[in-house]
Structure 1
Amino acid sequence: MIASQGISAAASPLPRGVKRAFDAMRANVGHNWRLAELAGIAGVSARTLQRQFLTFVGKSPRAVLREIGLDCARRELLQGSPGVKIMDVALRCGFTHFGRFSIAYRRRYSETPSQTLKRQTVLTDALGAMPSLLVPARDRVVIAFGPIEAAAEHLALAADIADDLATALVRAGLAVATRSVAARYHLGGAIRGAGTQAHLTIRLVDTETGGQLWAHRIDGILHDDVATTEHLAARIAAALQSCLRLAEIDRALRKPAAGLGAQDLALRAMPGVLSLDACGNARALEMLDRAMEEDPNQPLAIALAAWAHVQRAVYHFTHAPQQERARSLELTHRARALGGDATVLAILGNALSLLREFDAADLVTRKALAIDGGSAWAWSRSGWIDVYKGVPQSAIERFKIALDLAPHDPLAFNSMVGIGCALFTAGQYAEGARWQERALAEHPSASWVHRTLCPAHVLAGQAREARRSLDGLRQHYPDLTVSEVQRGMPPLPPSQCNLVVGALQEAGLPA
């Protein structure tokens, strides 16, 4: 499983000429490729190449080149290198007209290049302010990580990156070993190329199967304006976490049922909790109850159970919401007394914020970020806390940091919902609806999204979309009433709750 963004030339079998043209465009993004040049590289006529691109890719070579350039620019801006100039990035990625670049970028990524870059400054400052907090060694995954391969002239840089990456991995709750003995995973790295073509590649391998689980590439590693190695390492560790978490869950799922410990059961339960749907929630709670019987002091199991119980109240999975809230609150007290790594604390922040314990939620979420400033889950939860406090712009910034750090994480869709709710709070109803539609497309079983999606359509004057959304809500919750929505509603500001309730009534939800 290799992390990637943008257009994929390997999504389906391609003619050899098309693949050669793809490779050429990617190898020299900034070049103003003419169709005749690409056709010469592909070994076919210009007309044939144009036809093959439209047939097999669905876009013309020029459209593909533009998207490759936008993806390249996006990657550079997300690196947040100090002193970087957007115009320089645009030129390096093949855009000579800054205005057209900005319009195309905004259309593709729903924000301007300057907004992307500004957000990286926020993340960089947060990473730089992290104190030296480490977490207990309990249940840590062991990962082997040795020196980063490099030519002689790059050895000092490779050593600096390796040292900072080892620290970032420990912050993320991993145990780092220098050899593969007893390590579940091996992380290797190499600096290849020279000058502007130099890049760093990091790969994660399962030591048991030998299979590659993940790879990450950072270009321009030798640029004068490259981010500090500490910040670079934190971003790599953040990008690694989602894949490693999935690998641990898969490992737990492969174990014989008879030999499962509390940690294994908690990992098996995690996808159900993250699904934010009724069936997954019920399955997860069965396993979490077993985990807590096996070990009453297992932090991950207790934190997940606290979140799962309050989910039942908030997402209308139960007819006894007060009992579920009470059980969740009891479990949060137990989990807080035990402490844990950034993941446990971020999960605990989820439960506490849904219980309206905002001060406690803010405290544990801040601690999670102090331990690991690259925790996408903690950034997302801090965004939700801002939504609940009625601070939409800060919330959007934090949700987008979470998406920048882990765009393929199972909870990424919930950050999209959060952006939609923040925009709703800011009165941008049509844009808020668009983000929530996007989240629902990513995660169709999260039908509770319609509670705020339908009102966003109503207030945006989109009557047909509002009816469709209300139908989606009632299909999954046929007996749902406005009163039940009010009882289960997440802790949005009172004025926003009133807008949601009024819009749902206008759309036709029974009182």
Structure 2
Amino acid sequence: MIISHGISAARSPLPRGVRRALDAMRANVGHNWRLAELAAVAGVSARTLQRQFLAFIGKTPRAVLREIGLECARRELLQGRPSLKIMDVALRCGFPHFGRFSIAYRRCYDETPSQTLKRQAVLTDALRAMPSLLMPARDRPTVAFGPIEAAAENLALAADIADDLVTALTRAGIAVASRSIAARYHLGGAIRGSGAQTHLTIRLIDTETGGQLWAHRADSVLRDDDIATTEHLAARIAAALQPCLRLAEIDRALRKPVTSLGAQDLALRAMPGVLSLDACGNARALEMLERAMDQDPDHPLAIALAAWAHVQRVVYHFTHAPQEERARSLELARRARALCGDATVLAILGNALSLLREFDAADLVTRRALAIDGGSAWAWSRSGWIDVYKGDPQSAVERFKIALDLAPHDPLAFNSMVGIGCALFTAGQYAEGAHWQERALAEHPTASWVHRTLCPAHVLAGQAPQARRSLDALRQHYPDLTVSEVHRGMPPLPPSQCDLVVGALQEVGLPA
């Protein structure tokens, strides 16, 4: 799986002229390309180029150039350099009119450029405040990582980034080796370009197949007047790498013969089912996790995942025995707390404890996860949910967005969108809350339980047709669901918000 930035075509392959035009746009983002210039680069007429863009990409060259510019601006703002000026970013990315840039940016990313930049300061401060905690290795994937390639003038910068990246990867639960003999994966990096065009490229290679699994590009890593915060950059790279590496480890476990599966393999095989947040995936996952715990009663990942999976059955209405499931989850969560876990295990445990309404314990383990790995998207997301449950929607939204900034392609990214929607709901911003929950459902259509809070958001926003459609979708998936069952299974929102949810569902017609 390759994660890359930029405009991708819906149809493939692209005509040569379109590819040439796209390459020219990306290589000179700030240039105000005229159609005739692009046509000359592409080697076709302006009319032909316009027609090919519409046929193969579905957009005009001007619209594509605008999107490339916005993506470039987004990447720069997410790097969060302290002295970065938004006006300079806009100009570099081809937006000479600052007001129009801000409007376009907000439409694309649901926030202003200044909000994106300010949030990076929160992340940078958190990274700098982290103690030097490195957890002992257990069942870690091993990545070989050598020096980052660079020209002589950028060798010092390359060395600083490499050092910080080794630390960030180790905090994230990834073992780093200097040689690839025993490593499952190879991570390579290179700094190319000069001045304002300097960029860093990182690639993850599977050492068995030689295939590229993932790629990351950071633009403008060096400027004449400003050096990017390498610790922040390294944490972002490690966070973006984790979902892909986790998927690669799961694939490895799936390829193993059933007769040779250990506890770690079974836990990895179970993880997608737990992350799916749906009934079928949950049931499959619990079966494998029980086998993992039979093999190794003290396996932290298996126990933490099982604790979360059991309480999911209560919260998402997967069970007719909620008290028994909650009791089993609490037992497993207490066992997991007694074991030494990495940031991933602690974040998973925080999920279970918060849904069990053990808020102090959930907050403690989530903070510990962030102390170990300040780039853990799962821990940032869970800390956002804890803020929602405590009634602090502003802090919750910022933490969810940090999680999305760090790992937008993570399987749980949709749950951070649900969290933003719930936080905005608790702040009384019902239409905005509904918008974010609709986005989450578009990312994860099987998460029908989202309609429990989406439908009330539509009701309170005065959006009756949308509320009716949402209720119909909820009842189609849960035909016997009642208001009382929703109330029993709801996540631990503040009581006043639970009353609003229940009242809105009654108003729109859910049986009592």
Pairwise same-fold verdict (TM > 0.5): yes
Counterpart residue type for residue 103 of structure 2? I
Once the two structures are superposed, residues 442-468 of structure 1 have per-residue CA deviations (whole angstroms, 9 ceiling, x without a partner) of: 111110000000000111111111111
CA shift for structure 1 position 281: 0.1
CA shift for structure 1 position 9: 4.4
Aligned ranges 1:65-214 → 2 under 5 Å: 65-214=65-214
Residue aligned with 2:222, SS: coil
- Contact kept, 8 Å, 1:186 with 1:207, in 2: the verdict is yes
- Contact kept, 8 Å, 1:2 with 1:216, in 2: the verdict is no
Aligned ranges 1:83-482 → 2 under 5 Å: 83-223=83-223, 224-482=225-483
CA shift for structure 1 position 49: 1.5
Once the two structures are superposed, residues 329-375 of structure 1 have per-residue CA deviations (whole angstroms, 9 ceiling, x without a partner) of: 00011000002000000000000000000000000000000000000
Counterpart residue type for residue 479 of structure 1? D
Once the two structures are superposed, residues 30-66 of structure 1 have per-residue CA deviations (whole angstroms, 9 ceiling, x without a partner) of: 0011111111111122122122212221111111111
Once the two structures are superposed, residues 381-412 of structure 1 have per-residue CA deviations (whole angstroms, 9 ceiling, x without a partner) of: 00000000110111000000000000000000
Runs of at least 5 residues in structure 1 that lack an aligned partner in the other structure = none
CA shift for structure 1 position 6: 4.3
Residue aligned with 1:188, SS: strand
Counterpart residue type for residue 505 of structure 2? L
Counterpart residue type for residue 405 of structure 1? L
In structure 2, the partner of 1:34 is 34
Once the two structures are superposed, residues 283-315 of structure 1 have per-residue CA deviations (whole angstroms, 9 ceiling, x without a partner) of: 000000000000000000000000000000000
Distance 1:11 1:58 in 2: 9
CA shift for structure 1 position 159: 1.4
Distance 2:276 2:35 in 1: 46
Distance 1:42 1:150 in 2: 31
Distance 1:428 1:437 in 2: 14
Distance 1:473 1:115 in 2: 34
Residue aligned with 2:493, SS: coil
- Contact kept, 8 Å, 2:271 with 2:285, in 1: the verdict is yes
Distance 1:79 1:503 in 2: 41
In structure 1, the partner of 2:58 is 58
Residue aligned with 1:134, SS: coil
In structure 2, relative to structure 1, the CA distance for the partners of 1:450 and 1:300 (3 Å cut) is same
- Contact kept, 8 Å, 2:222 with 2:228, in 1: the verdict is no
Distance 1:205 1:4 in 2: 14
Counterpart residue type for residue 506 of structure 1? E
Residue aligned with 2:338, SS: helix
Distance 1:345 1:300 in 2: 9
- The share of aligned pairs that are identical, in percent, is 88
Distance 2:438 2:197 in 1: 39
Counterpart residue type for residue 387 of structure 1? V
- Contact kept, 8 Å, 2:191 with 2:199, in 1: the verdict is yes
In structure 2, the partner of 1:43 is 43
- Contact kept, 8 Å, 1:9 with 1:19, in 2: the verdict is no
Distance 1:107 1:230 in 2: 30
Distance 1:276 1:214 in 2: 25
In structure 2, relative to structure 1, the CA distance for the partners of 1:225 and 1:10 (3 Å cut) is farther
Distance 1:226 1:350 in 2: 37
Spell out structure 1 runs of 4+ moving beyond 4 A: none
The number of equivalent residue pairs is 511
TM-score of the pair, normalised by structure 1 = 0.99
Distance 2:244 2:142 in 1: 15
Residue aligned with 1:202, SS: strand
